[in-house]
Amino acid sequence: MIDVEDLIALVRNYNPRTNAELIRRAYDYGRRMHDGQFRHSGEPYFTHPVAVAAILTEQRLDDATIVTALLHDTIEDTRSTYSEVAQMFGDEVAELVDGVTKLTNLQLSSNASKQAENFRKLFMAMSKDLRVILVKLADRLHNMRTIRSMRADKQAQKARETMEIFAPLAGRMGMQWMREELEDLAFKVLNPEARTSIIRRFVTLQKETGDVIPKITADIRHELEKAQIEADVFGRAKRPYSIWRKMEEKQLSFSRLSDIYGFRVITRSESDCYAVLGLIHQRWRAVPGRFKDYISQPKSNGYRSIHTTVSGRDGKRVEVQIRTRQMHEVAEAGVAAHWSYRDGVRAANPFAVDPAQWIAQLTERFDEGDHDEFLENVKLEMYSDQVFCFSPKGEVVKLPKGATPIDYAYAIHTRIGNSCVGAKVDGIRVPLWTRLKNGQSVEIITATGQRPQATWLDIVKTGRAKAAIRKSLREEDRTRFVKLGTELARVAFEHVGRKVSDKALRTAAKTLGLPDEVELLARIGSAELTAREVIEALYPELAVAPAETVEPARAVLGLPADQTFRRAGCCQPLPGERIIGITYRGQGVVIHAADCPVLAEFEEQPQRWVDLHWHSGRHAPVYSASLKLTISNDAGVLGHICTLIGQQKANISDLNFVDRKPDFYSLMIEVELRDVEHLHTLLTALEAESNVAQVERYRDLTRKP
Could you tell me how many residues make up the chain? 705
Nearest alpha-carbon partner for 400 in 374, 378, 422, 419: 378
Taking the CA atoms of the chain, what radius of gyration do you get in angstroms? Answer: 34
Catalytic residue among 76, 117, 367, 519: 76
Neighbours of 495 (CB within 10 A): 13
Q: Checking DSSP bridges between strand 588-593 and strand 317-324, what pairing results, if any? A: unpaired
Catalytic residue list contains 77: yes
Helix (H, G, I), strand (E, B) or coil at 351: coil
Nearest alpha-carbon partner for 27 in 67, 61, 75: 67
List beta partners, residue 38: 44
The CA distance from 648 to 686, in Å, is 10
Give the up-direction half-sphere exposure of residue 105: CA atoms within 13 A in the CB hemisphere.
Answer: 13
Please name the helix (run of DSSP H) or strand (run of DSSP E) that holds residue 423, with its range, or none: strand 420-425
Helix (H, G, I), strand (E, B) or coil at 391: coil
Catalytic residue among 5, 21, 28, 77: 77
List beta partners, residue 262: 236, 319
Torsion of CA 24, 29, 31, 32, to 10 degrees: 140
The CA distance from 175 to 125, in Å, is 19
The CA distance from 289 to 439, in Å, is 12
Nearest alpha-carbon partner for 382 in 296, 457, 262, 462: 462
The CA distance from 384 to 379, in Å, is 8
Neighbours of 687 (CB within 10 A): 13
The burial of 404, by beta-carbon neighbours within 10 Å (0-12 exposed, 13-18 middle, 19 or more buried), is given as buried
The CA distance from 302 to 506, in Å, is 53
Contacts of 231 (CB under 8 A, 6+ apart): 224, 265, 266, 267, 268, 272, 276
Neighbours of 460 (CB within 10 A): 27
> Which sequence positions are flagged as catalytic?
76-77
